């Protein structure tokens, strides 16, 4: 699973450098995925994970509002990664 996340991050980085317009679209897609996941899986997520993801979501939204699509995409991708990792293990906490 970690290998897939690393490949995804590498692909994301390469894609971001290729197209600023794509970065804005990816930012929007990530923010929507975060919103959807927080809404649908709210009961299964730990409080610490919800707080961490909400903080990252806020930072991504602030970057988007400031016109920094690259930062928005980077921060929102971190939030998506955090949401996906613990859920693949069947819990809202990664055991840290």
Cα of 63 vs its chain's centroid, Å: 14
40 or 21, which is more confident: 40
For residue 8, give the 3-state DSSP assignment. Answer: helix
Among 94, 92, 62, 95, CA closest to 76: 62
What pLDDT, in 10s, does the model give residues 65-78? Answer: 999 999 999 999 99
Cα–Cα distance, 69 to 61 (Å, whole number) = 10
Cα–Cα distance, 29 to 13 (Å, whole number) = 16
Q: What does the mean pLDDT of the chain come to?
A: 79
Here the tokens at position 12 are 């994301």
């Amino acid at each position: 699973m970690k290998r897939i996340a690393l490949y995804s991050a590498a692909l994301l980085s390469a894609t971001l450098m290729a197209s600023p317009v794509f970065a804005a679209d990816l930012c929007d897609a990530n923010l929507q995925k975060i919103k959807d996941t927080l809404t649908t899986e709210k009961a299964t997520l730990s409080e610490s994970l919800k707080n961490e993801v909400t903080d990252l979501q806020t930072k991504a939204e602030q970057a988007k509002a400031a016109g920094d699509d690259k930062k928005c995409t980077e921060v929102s991708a971190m939030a998506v990664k955090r949401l996906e990792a613990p859920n693949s293990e069947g819990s809202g906490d990664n055991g840290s």
